[in-house]
Structure 1
Amino acid sequence: MMFPNLFSPLKLGTTEVKNRISFQPHLTNLAIGNLPSERQMYYWGERAKGGAGLIITEELTVHPTDMAYEKLIDVYHAEVIPGFKKITDYVHQYDAKIFAQLNHNGQQGDGSISRLPVWAPSPIPDVLFRETPKAMEPEDIEEVARYFAKSAIHVREGGFDGIELQFGHSSLARQFLSPLTNFRNDEYGGSLENRMRAPLKFIAAVRKAVGNDFTLGIRMCADEMIPGGLDLAQVQEICARFEASGLIDFMDLSIATFYNLYLVEGSMHTPLGYTIPLAAGIRERIKLPVFCTGRINDPVMAEKVLANGQADMIGMCRGLICDPFLPKKAQEGRLEDIRYCIACNQGCIGRIGMNKTLGCVQNPAVGREKEWGEGTLEKASVKKNVTIVGGGPAGMWAAKMAGRRGHKVTLIDRNEGLGGQVVTAMKGTGRDEFGVIIRNEKSQVDKAGVTVKLGAEATTEQLLAEKPDVVIVATGSIPKKHPVGGADGPAIFNVLQVLNGEAELGQNVCLIDYDGHQRATATAEFLANQGKKIDMITSSLFICAELGPTQDLYSSRQRLLQKGVTFTPDIAVMEVGGEAGAKTVKGFNVYSNVWFDWGPYDSIVLVMGQQVEEDLYMSLKGKVPELYRIGDCVAPRKVDMAIWEGHKIGREI
């Protein structure tokens, strides 16, 4: 076997899991009326079907004062039990185990949904939610413990195999444990023994409710990663004391808090396996099974962690959102078929943070497993000759899906390789992992029997002469040619020219950012790394305005500022001018309407929007039996919509 440790069983309390892969807890926003839903059943079931040994649900809220997110499941109501039974029965048919995660978010929430005060150890506002909580009285602590117990009973009656208590990055329990958030001077604050009193009370209440023959563990924050908070040495001691209580069966780990959320949900700017040393540190101190989670997105790394004794269980979250069948593919030695997560955070964390249902840039089936999951793709009743023009993500996905359905598919691209704009985007600083999208799909296009023609320009005349049954145009978009007055002058370049090495920029560069996303920031950092002096001007409130949901806002701004990039927000640029070496920018403050001039610059880089490449589509309208366009040549957007539309049209034609 390629992965002997990864696919060996593990005993967690009274529960034996068939392998060392755990699908980790994360919000889905798929609950309906704060009750478990059919979509969740199919969502978690797909990962069980894909071979994960253990599924841990998203956090389930145990008390009315904890409604940090609108679509949490209220596990303290007995009405959850029938829905839980459907979910656990569905998961169990695939020989997987499923645990429920119970949580109270404490100060890391607000009362706008519950219309109740937020409860916390001390009246300290959370850095993200910023609502001053009520300092819990002793009777409040007792009440939460009772609610944990009541919720645990509902979990057991719902057919779950175990419970995980969230004591990690977002939890009331961690707030009691941490000196950063616990300023109490009663028996629940001060010394470590006192700070552990409330969390131990929660554990004891749950253990008493479910009995000793039911698996119970903790999700623990291994290091808060902020001065004044819990560090690894303190957490090692806390974990040892929890273990000594004899009440728990395993220790799952997370990292950081809302003070540094970019570490909780590390993007592609965060190293792969960045939490492994923390897991190893806890593993050295306790004998209970330890889970390691954090950008372990492939079975090779997972096997190495286990073989080195750094952890006992590998938590995969985004990796299994992206490819639910990663475990089965790994066990069968089909590594080339794994769709590897790129930690772009756009479809998962980015959507959840905006209160949308969970998604994935590379997996349109997320949350739609009943309709689009494994085994739902049917062969086409009528086999057609399908020509797809454009080999970017939209075209590749359309080709793959249509080929799998039995159509005869030809994919044409003018470039010498597939990938479209991804080929350029991956050249931006810290964005090389974005290119994994191409690697993931190229082999699947080949396996689907698609004929690929590269370096070929598809013309209207040629396509009409070949008489295909279906033409799908996926020709993408290009930077706007004249987004502002003077943009056609000398020493003015777009992102494609810069990243492809086609721009003679000079040393002093102004980058005009109307994007607020990686297209602008990764290009600015790319130039700063060359030692160039970069001024960024934006009409938004701040640079990186679109990067908050993906957890790249803080770290991107930090890196840019450390590299000498300067930021000028709130400016609507109306004109660029001057000669090479003396370029100027003219615009006004969008609030004061006061006009300003900037310069001189050696050159200007415009990140001011894209325009469709639709000429081919327009020339074919009414001339072929079936004509479609997908991706950026419909409207310039991000890669998730290109893949979504390619996937959808490939299923439907």
Structure 2
Amino acid sequence: MMFPYLFSPLKLGTVEVKNRISFQPHLTNLAVGNLPSERQMYYWGERAKGGAGLIITEEMSVHPTDMAYEKLIDVYHPEVIPGFKKITDYVHQYDAKIFAQLNHNGQQGDGSISRLPVWAPSPMPDVLFRETPKEMEPEDIEEVARYFAKCAIHVREGGFDGIELQFGHSSLARQFLSPLTNFRSDEYGGSLENRMRAPLRFISAVRKAVGNDFTLGVRMCADEMIPGGLDLAQVQEICAGFETSGLIDFMDLSIATFYNLYLVEGSMHTPLGYTIPLAAGVREKIKLPVFCTGRINDPVMAEKVLANGQADMIGMCRGLICDPFLPKKAFEGRMDDIRYCIACNQGCIGRIGMNKLLGCVQNPAVGREKEWGEGTLEKAAVRKKVAIVGGGPGGMWAAKMAGRRGHDVTLFDRNEVLGGQVLTAMKGAGRDEFGVIIRNEKEQVDKAGAKVKLGVEVTIEQLLADKPDVVIVATGSVPKEHPVPGADGPAIYNVWQVLNSQPELGQTVCLIDYDGHQRAAATAEYLAIQGKKVHMITASLFIGAELGPTQDLYLTRQRLLQKGVTFTPDIAVMEVAGDAGAKVIKGFNVYSNAWDEWGPFDSVVLAMGQRVDDALYQSLKGKVKELYRVGDAVAPRKVDMAIWEGHKIGREI
């Protein structure tokens, strides 16, 4: 066996899981009416089918005052039990275990949904939600404990194998434990013993409700990573105290809080396995099984963590959102078939943060497993000759899906390698992992039987001569040539030119950012690393306006500022004037309407939008039986839509 540690069983309380891979809790927004849904059943079931030994549900709410998000399951209603039974029965058929995570978010919520005051240890607003909570009275603490117990009974009656209590990054329990959020002077505040009192009350209430023959564990924040908060040494003491109580069976770890959410949900700028030292530190102090989670997207890394004794269980979240069958593929030695998560955060965290349904850039089936999951793809009734023009993500996915359905597929691209705009995007500073999208799919296109012809500039005549039944145009988009007057003059370049051809730029560079995302930010950082003095101008409120939902904003701005990049927001650029070496930017403040000039600059770099490259599509209209276009050839967007549309068309033709 390639991974003897990863695929060995583990006892968690009274439950034995078949391997050391846990699908970790995360919001899905798939609940309906605050009750378990069929979509959740298929979603969690797909990961069980894919080989994960343990599934831990998203957090579920234990009390009416905890309504941090609109689509949480309210476990305190007995109506949840039938839905739970459907979910647990579905998961169990794949020899996986499933635990329910119970939580009260405390101050990390607001009353706009529940119309109730937010409860917390102390009347201190959360840094993200910013609502002043009610300081919980002792009777409130007892009420929450009773509700935890009631919910635990519903979980057990619903067929779950165990419970995980959320005491981690977003939880009332952590707020009691942390000196950063607990300023009480009664028996629930002050000393560590007192701060542990309420969390231990919650644990004991649940244990009494479910009995000693039911697995119970805690999700603990291993380090709040902020001055004045819990650090590893304090957490080691807390975990040892929980273990000594004899009430829990395992310790699952998270990191950070809403003060530093970019560490909770690390992007590709965060190192792989960045929480491993914390897990190892907790495991040194307790004998209970310890879970380690945090950008472990690779079975090789997971095996190493286990072999080194740094943890007992590997938590994978985004890795299994991206590829539910990662465990099965690893067990079977099919490493080349694994679709590796790149931590772009665009489809998962980025969507959830905007209150949308969970998604994944690389996995269009997320949340649609019933219709698009494993085993749903059917062979085409009629085999068609399919020509796909454009070898970026959209074209590759269309080729893969159509090939798997039995069509005769040929994929053309003018470049010598597949990848499209991803090949450019991955050259931005710290964005090389973005190229994994292409690495993940190249072999799958070949395995699907699609023929790939590179270095070919496809003409209409050539296509029509081949007499295809279907043509899919995936030719993408190109930068706008002159988005404002003067923008086509000397010493002016677009982002593509900078990243691909590396023109000779002067020492001072103005980057005009109408993107707000990585296209602009990663290019500015790329130039700053080269020692250029970069000045970014944007019409938005701030540089990186689109990076918040993906948890890239804080660290991106930090890196840019540390590298000397200057930010000027609120400016609508109307003209680029001057000669090479003395370029001047002219524009006005979008709020005051006051005009101004910036410069002189040696060079100007534009991130001012894309336009469709659809000439081939327009020329083919009415000349082939079936004509489609996908991705940026429809409208310039991000990679998730190119993959979504390529996948969908490939399934349907």
Look up the match of 2:74: 74
Counterpart CA distance in 2 for 1:642 and 1:260 is: 31
Alignment of 1:604-623 (within 5 A): 604-623=604-623
* Corresponding position: 1:275 with 2:275: yes
Map 1:27-38 onto structure 2 (within 5 A): 27-38=27-38
Listed as ranges, the matches of 1:236-635 within 5 Å are 236-635=236-635
The amino acid across from 1:334 in the alignment is R
Q: Which amino acid aligns with 2:202?
A: F
The 2-side partners of 1:514 and 1:222 are apart by 39
**In the TM superposition, what whole-angstrom CA distance separates every residue of 1:599-638 from its partner, at most 9, and x where no partner exists?**
0000000000000000000000000111000000100000
Letter in 2 for 1:388: I
Q: 1:263, 1:396 → 2: CA distance? A: 33
Q: CA deviation at 1:594?
A: 0.1
**One-letter amino acid of the counterpart of residue 160, structure 2:** F
Q: Which amino acid aligns with 1:645?
A: E
Q: Shift in Å at residue 278 of structure 1?
A: 0.2
Name the counterpart of 1:177: 177
Structure 1 distance, partners of 2:432, 2:111, is: 41
Return the letter of the residue paired with 1:98.
Answer: I
Alignment of 1:167-246 (within 5 A): 167-246=167-246
C-alpha distance in 2 between matches for 1:100 and 1:502: 52
Aligned to 1:144: 144
The secondary structure found in structure 2 opposite 1:483 is: coil
Matched, 1:111 2:115: no
In structure 2, list runs of 5 or more residues that go unmatched: none
Q: Which amino acid aligns with 2:166?
A: Q
Corresponding residue number in structure 2 for 1:95: 95
Question: Residue 23 of structure 1 corresponds to which residue in structure 2?
Answer: 23
Question: Amino acid of the residue matched to residue 31 of structure 1?
Answer: A
Query: How far apart in 2 are the matches of 1:176 and 1:629?
Result: 54
Following superposition, the deviation at residue 73 of structure 1 comes to: 0.2
In 2: Cα distance, 1:398 partner to 1:70 partner: 35
- Which string of whole-angstrom CA distances, capped at 9 and with x for unpartnered residues, describes residues 241-272 of structure 1? 00000000000000000000000000000000
Identical pairs, percent: 89
Instruction: Write the deviation string for residues 268-288 of structure 1: whole angstroms up to 9, x where unpaired.
Output: 000000000000000000000
Structure 1 runs not aligned, ≥5 long: none
Equivalent residue for 1:7? 7
State the Cα distance separating 1:501 from its structure 2 match: 3.0
- Secondary structure (helix, strand or coil) at the match of 1:378 reads coil
Provide the rounded CA distance (Å) in 2 between the counterparts of 1:621 and 1:478.
21
Distance in 2, matches of 1:86 and 1:316, equals 24
Number of equivalenced pairs: 653
Cα offsets for 1:36-88 (capped at 9, x unmatched) = 00000000000000000000000000000000000000000000000000000
* Deviations, residues 413-464 of structure 1 (Å, cap 9, x unaligned): 0000000000010000110000000000000001011110000000011111
Q: Letter of the 2:152 partner, please give it.
A: A
Shift of 1:577: 1.3
- Cα distance in 2, alignment partners of residues 400 and 279 from structure 1: 39
Structure 1 match to 2:123: 123
Provide the secondary structure at the position in 1 that maps to 2:66: coil
Amino acid paired to 1:606: L
Instruction: Name the amino acid aligned to 1:475.
Output: T
Q: How far off is 1:465 after superposition?
A: 1.1
Specify the SS of the correspondent of 1:113.
helix
| Equivalent position SS for 1:281 | helix
- 1:502, distance to aligned residue in structure 2 (A): 3.5
Other structure's SS at 1:446 match: helix
CA distance in 1, matches of 2:285, 2:511: 50
* 1:466 to partner: Cα distance: 1.0
2:145 corresponds to which letter in structure 1?
A
Q: Distance in 1 between matches of 2:431 and 2:64?
A: 42
Give the secondary-structure state (helix, strand or coil) at the position aligned to 2:604. strand
Partner of 1:646: 646
Deviations 1:9-58 (A, max 9, x none): 00000000000000000000000000000000000000000000000000
Q: TM-score, normalised by structure 2?
A: 1.00
